[in-house]
A and B are shown apart, each in its own frame.
Chain A
Amino acid sequence: MNRIFLLPVEVPSLLRSALLLLCLLSLSLVAVAQETATVCLQCHSAQTGRGGKAVQPWKTSIHAANGISCHDCHGGDPKDAANAMSPARGFLGVPKETGIPAFCGRCHVGIREDYLQSAHGRALGKGGPTCVTCHGSHEIEKVTLELINEKSCSRCHPYERAAKIKAAMEKTEQQIVGIEGRLDRFKGEGVDTETADKSLFAIRNTYHRLFHEVNTARVTSESSKLQGELARLDQSLQKVAEQRAKRKIAGTFVVAGALVAALLFHLVRKTYD
């Protein structure tokens, strides 16, 4: 929309004025459109150094996909450029290493508790990993079992125990991925998935809390409970799928009825020829 173009000299002055006015109009429209972005993104997107580094990774993150923007974590005023980073407006900035679990744990409360009780959390400040060691700071991906992998875990310790936990959780992961796919399809067809989404959200959270558990027996027993709940959720979605299949069967009869009516009208019409 925002274009700069050269005006040929032969363009009449009235037309040139009109085009200039249009340029200004289109610029003002762009300005209006940009009001929807936070001032954090407006400034940091334009920065080339360290300040602009976080924007692009954030755009691809699960936080961006869920509408969690800069100010949701770092505080500040996303509507006032002059005071966006004012502590008086709640700006927190970047946390210290030992403060990271508390920083992320404002939203991910249960995960923070699990982390602090785990071997990872107990090593906080003593060379142990924080949330961002495994999840990254701005490029945070949707949590999947792929986060547990030899390359990542082996940075600090042997991979064996992590591999056992991963194996115990794989079936749950598959069920979750399958249900997510089905829900996505349903959402794209106007099905009200709010209740199922909430159930899956709760199950997924419980499942994610297992990620920070290092007791293999507990992971196995919790996983089987979760798999039962997921199977029930899947059954309720299956009923929706069956109802939609029935609509298509009804549709076959309705369309056939219309075609038969067309044929009959045509034949009756022929009798008048």
Chain B
Amino acid sequence: MNLAKRIYNWVDVRVGAGELVEKELTGYLLPTNINVWYSMGSILLFIFSIQVVTGILLLIYYVPDADKAFKSVTFIMNDVPFGWLIRMCHAVGSNMMVLILLFHMLSVLFMGSYKSPREMNWLSGFILLTMVMGISLTGYLLPWSQLSFWATTVATNSVGAVPVVGSYLVEFLRGGKLVGPPTLGRFFALHVAVIPATIAALIGAHLFFLQRTGVSTPPFGLKDTTNRWQGDSYRYESHPGGIPFLPHYTLQDLTSISVYCALFLGVVFFDPYIFFPSTAFMPADPFQTPAHIKPEWYFLPNYQTLKLFPSEFLGIAVQGAAMTFLALLPFIDRGTEKHPLKRPLFMACATGGIMLYFALMIWGHYS
């Protein structure tokens, strides 16, 4: 008996590792018609891990002080061995996380996987999206560049449109009337402690809900594509005769993660500057407003919506209503049909919504 096997046996007889692997991995069966879109969650877990690791490495040299932050990031980019790679992976990774998260949500929407009994899966996922947006926004300020300073000024200004408490909220967020050193302190604490911990907890909840409800069956390639859960009692959606998670779908996950890595590293090595305008590398100057300050691509639709309405309040109210609708979708859409082609109203709304999102994004970019 070799050493590895002896160690495995030693652990197995104590914690029942074999039983656990059998139950949760090799014996964990997935629908036979499962597709590549189900890998998005694994890719997101991988990205989150990369963000945590690169974030910790950046923390070694980053100084969260308004006088030193920009210099410390410049030092990381130019003097720390592979510092440029770590920083670029972190910054590009944040954009990729939002992108893949949107793909994940779209696949869940189109395959009707948000329908009951998976309301809590959807809600936890939706809160995760807002948290990822929040961690991206707070991280944006940390380099203390012209871009980060002014983009944060614009973003925090919008909160002022909330009735009654708006100005107090702005001051609370900024730690003063204007974006300044206290804002950096606040955003740093949110970015490295509060939001990552919340995201980790939400990921745990999301996976717990998935584990308890079972993987939803994709509506493609089946005759009956309706949701048969009656809502009378708890039911785990099992897939007898399905494909095992390990090794079959794990290999699919690894394939998807490798393809993602190729794309991600392609951006990191060849053109990370698609996410960085030149103002991202200029130190913050509160006395000089750069022309055409724009938020990150994923905030462009929100930015453009705010400009479309005669007051910021209306713009924020409309966006709030849209987000609330999306968050409560499983409670609003009670239809049992899951196949997108058999849901014409859903298809019309979803396609229209996506087109509107892209139109606002492009409009915001060129406005």
Q: Which A residues form the contact surface with B (CB < 8 A)?
A: 1, 3, 5, 18-19, 21-23, 25-26, 28-29, 32-33, 35-37, 67, 69, 187-192, 247-248, 250-252, 254-255, 258-259, 261-262, 265-266, 268-269, 272
Which of A22, A189, A251 meets B161, CB within 8 Å?
Answer: A22
Residues of A within 8 A of B161 (CB): 22, 25-26
Give, as a whole number of angstroms, the nearest-CB distance from B101 to chain A. 21
Asked if B251 and A265 make an inter-chain contact with CB atoms under 8 angstroms apart, the answer reads yes
- Residue B297 interfacial (CB < 8 Å): no
Does B247 lie within 8 Å of A188, measured CB to CB?
Answer: no
- Kindly state the separation between the CA atoms of A191 and B84 in the bound complex, as whole angstroms: 10
Taking CB atoms, residues of chain B closer than 8 Å to A191 are 77-78
User: Given A5-B311, A67-B288, A255-B262, A29 and B269 touching (CB < 8 A)?
Assistant: no
The reply to whether B281 and A188 contact each other, CB–CB distance below 8 Å, is yes
Q: Which residues of B contact A36 (CB under 8 A)?
A: 178, 286-287, 289
B268-292 interface bits toward A, Cβ cutoff 8 Å, 1 = contact, 0 = none = 1110010010101110011111000
Residues of chain A within 8 A of B259, CB atoms compared:
258-259, 262
Q: Quick check: A189 and B311 within 8 Å, CB to CB?
A: no
Q: Which of B285, B286, B311 has the most CB of A within 10 A?
A: B311
Smallest CB-CB A-B distances: 7 pairs: A251-B269, A262-B258, A188-B278, A269-B251, A258-B262, A192-B78, A258-B261
Task: Output the least CB separation between A226 and chain B (Å).
Answer: 27
Chain A proximity of B138: nearest CB distance (Å) = 20
What B residues does A3 contact at CB under 8 A? Answer: 310-311
User: How far apart sit A157 and B75, CA to CA, in the bound complex (Å)?
Assistant: 52
* A26, B312: Cβ atoms closer than 8 Å: yes
The contact of B77 among A22, A32, A188, A192, by CB within 8 Å, is A192
- Give CA–CA (A269, B249) in the complex, Å: 8
- Is B342 an interface position by the 8 A CB rule? no
B313 close to A (CB within 8 Å): yes
Residues of B within 8 A of A188 (CB): 273, 278, 281
Let me know if B262 and A67 touch, CB within 8 A.
no
Let me know if B33 is at the binding interface, CB within 8 A. no
Is the C-beta of B160 less than 8 angstroms from some C-beta in chain A?
Answer: yes
Query: Chain A contacts of B251 at CB under 8 A?
Result: 265-266, 268-269, 272
Q: In the bound complex, how far is the Cα of B233 from the Cα of A45, in angstroms?
A: 71
Counting chain B CB atoms within 10 Å of each CB, the highest count among A255, A266, A272 belongs to A255
Q: Which residue of B lies closest to A259 (CB)?
A: B262
Most buried by A among B177, B251, B288, B289: B251
Task: Tell whether, in the assembled complex, residue A259 and residue B258 are in contact, meaning their CB atoms are under 8 Å apart.
Answer: yes
The chain A residue with its CB closest to the CB of B313 is A22
Q: Are B311 and A190 in contact (CB under 8 A)?
A: no
B265 & A254 in contact (Cβ 8 Å cutoff): yes
B74 in contact with A190 (CB, 8 Å): yes
Q: 1/0 per position for B197-226, CB-CB distance to A under 8 A?
A: 000000000000000000000000000000
Give chain B residues whose Cβ lies under 8 Å from the Cβ of A32.
177-178
Q: Which residues of B contact A (CB under 8 A)?
A: 74-75, 77-79, 84, 153, 157, 160-161, 163-164, 166-167, 170, 177-178, 247-248, 251-252, 254-255, 258-259, 261-262, 265-266, 268-270, 273, 276, 278, 280-282, 285-289, 310-313
Complexed CA–CA distance, A1 and B315 (Å): 12
Task: A23-B311, A266-B255, A268-B251 given; name 15 further pairs at CB < 8 Å.
Answer: A21-B163, A21-B164, A29-B160, A189-B273, A189-B281, A190-B74, A192-B75, A248-B269, A250-B269, A259-B259, A261-B258, A262-B258, A265-B254, A269-B252, A269-B255
* Complex contacts, A5 vs chain B, CB 8 Å: 310-311
In the complex, chain A residues whose CB is within 8 Å of the CB of B310? 3, 5
User: Which residues of chain A come closer than 8 Å to B84, judged between CB atoms?
Assistant: 190, 247
Nearest chain A CB to B73 CB, angstrom units: 8
Most A CB within 10 A of own CB, among B78, B178, B258, B268: B258
- State the CA gap A189–B310 with chains docked (Å): 38
Q: Which residue of A lies closest to B277 (CB)?
A: A188
Closest to B160 in A: A29
Within 8 Å CB of B153, what residues of A? 33
B254 near A272 with CB under 8 A, answer no
- In the bound assembly, the distance between CA atoms of A262 and B166 in angstroms comes to 49
Q: Would A25 and B265 count as touching, CB distance under 8 A? A: no
State the CA gap A23–B311 with chains docked (Å): 8
| Identity of the chain B residue whose Cβ is nearest the Cβ of A271 in the assembled complex | B251
A22 touches B312 (CB 8 A): yes
Most B CB contacts (10 A, CB to CB) among A23, A32, A35, A248 go to: A32
Q: Name the residue among A1, A28, A248 with the largest chain B CB count within 10 angstroms.
A: A1
Instruction: Return chain B residues, CB-CB under 8 Å to A247.
Output: 84, 269
Query: CA–CA, A35 to B180, complex, Å?
Result: 13
Chain B residues near A23: list those with CB within 8 A.
311
The chain A residue sitting closest to B91, CB to CB, is A190
Is A22 a contact partner of B278 (Cβ separation < 8 A)?
no
- Specify which chain B residues have a CB less than 8 angstroms from the CB of A189 in the assembled complex: 273, 281
Supposing A22-B163, A22-B312 touch, asked if A258 and B287 sit within 8 A by C-beta, the answer is no
Inter-chain CA distance A251–B82, complex, in Å, is 13
Nearest A residue to B88, CB-CB? A190
Say yes or no: B160 contacts A25, CB within 8 Å: yes
| Residues of chain B within 8 A of A192, CB atoms compared | 74-75, 77-79
CA of A267 to CA of B160 in the docked complex: distance in angstroms? 55
Contacts of A18 in B (CB 8 A): 163, 313
Shortest A268–chain B CB gap in Å is 6
A247, B84: Cα distance in complex, Å: 10
Known: A190-B74, A262-B258, A269-B252. A26 touches B160 (CB 8 A): yes
Contact yes or no, B287 A251, CB < 8 A: no
Closest to B316 in A: A22
The chain A residue sitting closest to B85, CB to CB, is A247
Chain B: minimal CB distance from A184 (Å): 8
What is the chain A residue whose CB lies nearest that of B281?
Answer: A190
